[in-house]
Copies of this chain bind each other. A is one copy, B any other.
Amino acid sequence: MQKKFFMAEYSSILLEKAVDELAKLPGIGRKTALRLALHLLGEEKVTTETLAQSLLNMRGNIVLCKQCFNISDDEYCSICSNPKRDNGLLCVVADMRDVMAIERTGSFNGVYHVLGGVIDPINGISPNDLRIKELVDRSIKENFREIILALPATIEGDTTNYYIFKMLKHFEGQVTAIAKGIAVGDALEYADEVTLGRSIMNRIPFNR
């Protein structure tokens, strides 16, 4: 491309700055960023103000729940402080995204514990980087009848499962892990060998 002339693609430094910042977001390239910026320029001023304020409020005021370490607007999150949730059933997850995923299923009414990741020596994440000590503390202080480990079905997840299981040897309730098997709706021929193998190994009798 020739660049003989002074080029003024944006003709506005303010627009260029906004595009720069939007393009830093994951999955947003400069073309999409420009489309978003021009969209905001075409809308009422209040649209941009509401968007900017909601982002500032979110980033400025969201904290981690003191009990479960899920994101929260208050000291204790809306799940921990909800009297209708079952406080005897604890679900241990790696990430707050996993809390959202489980809540969406609508099939869990207990409380959570967010570890903040899984043990991953290659990426330098050791048990001390996770909230495993806090989990052990909760397993002693609170009165759980069951702790469900709902960690990713990866080697790191399995390692973390095993580590936590060992750390919970004092715990008198049940420790369970979520079932791994073929996805509902999947055909057997498309499932990978390991998943299908575990699915057969962990088969469930009909009369249960």
CA distance A40 to B52 in the complex (A): 12
With a CB–CB cut-off of 8 A, which chain B residues contact A22? 51, 55
CA distance A91 to B123 in the complex (A): 55
For A55-70 the 0/1 string (1 means CB < 8 A from B) is 1111111100100001
Q: A60 — nearest CB in chain B belongs to which residue? A: B45
CA distance A84 to B8 in the complex (A): 12
Contact yes or no, B59 A12, CB < 8 A: no
Contact yes or no, A12 B73, CB < 8 A: yes
Q: Does A172 contact B (CB under 8 A)?
A: no
Assess A62 versus B39: contact at CB under 8 Å? Given A4-B106, A9-B104. Answer: no
Identical subunits present? 2
Contact yes or no, B32 A58, CB < 8 A: no
- How many residues belonging to A are interface residues under a CB distance threshold of 8 Å? 73
With a CB–CB cut-off of 8 A, which chain B residues contact A85? 5-6
Contact yes or no, B54 A17, CB < 8 A: yes
Assess A48 versus B40: contact at CB under 8 Å? Given A7-B103, A9-B100, A11-B79. Answer: no
Contact yes or no, B14 A100, CB < 8 A: no
Assess A84 versus B21: contact at CB under 8 Å? Given A41-B62, A58-B14, A72-B12. Answer: no
With a CB–CB cut-off of 8 A, which chain B residues contact A58? 12, 14-15, 17-18, 37, 40-41, 48
Additional 19 contacts, C-beta under 8 A, given A5-B85, A18-B58: A4-B106, A6-B85, A8-B82, A8-B103, A11-B77, A11-B78, A12-B77, A14-B61, A17-B54, A21-B54, A25-B36, A25-B51, A26-B35, A26-B39, A40-B58, A49-B56, A52-B52, A52-B53, A52-B55
A residues with CB within 8 A of B? 1-15, 17-18, 20-22, 24-28, 32, 34-41, 45, 47-62, 65, 70-73, 77-79, 82, 84-85, 96-97, 99-100, 103-109
